[in-house]
Amino acid sequence: MTLGSPNKLPRSRWMGPGNACMSAGDWAGAIRAYGQGLMEQPLLGMHYAGNLERARRYYRHQRQAINAQGPGSIAVAVAGSELGTNAAGRAFGVTPIRWTLIRALR
């Protein structure tokens, strides 16, 4: 890759979006942006690496705080159904369960 001048680096495409995510507290978005920058612009690796590590540290801290709140702080519901035969009947049977879950999660 020719840069024209030995002291001139290519313009960073992912630093701005990564910094915007960091400012908004979106650590996962910042990690995604800085990681993409590392892959697409390895010459700027030294610039992306520091920000990537900082975003990862904040993300780990955030996840540890959420996990410390205990299992009651996270609510997940997973439902599945095979739609191969009698889809209308199955949808009718699943609907009351879905509404019960929605009311419970409010």
Together in a domain, 65 and 21: yes
Which structural domain, as residue segments, surrounds residue 51?
15-71
Together in a domain, 52 and 40: yes
CA dist., res. 98 & res. 54, Å (int)? 40
Residue 9 covered by a domain: no
- What's the domain count of the chain? 2
Q: Which residues of the chain are under the pLDDT cut of 70?
A: 1-9, 71-94, 105-106
CA dist., res. 15 & res. 12, Å (int)? 6
The token pair that represents 20 in the structure block: 């915007």
Residue 31 covered by a domain: yes
Q: Which pLDDT score, from 0 to 100, does residue 94 have?
A: 66
Q: Which pLDDT score, from 0 to 100, does residue 65 have?
A: 87
Q: Which pLDDT score, from 0 to 100, does residue 88 have?
A: 60
Q: Which pLDDT score, from 0 to 100, does residue 76 have?
A: 64
Q: Which pLDDT score, from 0 to 100, does residue 99 have?
A: 74
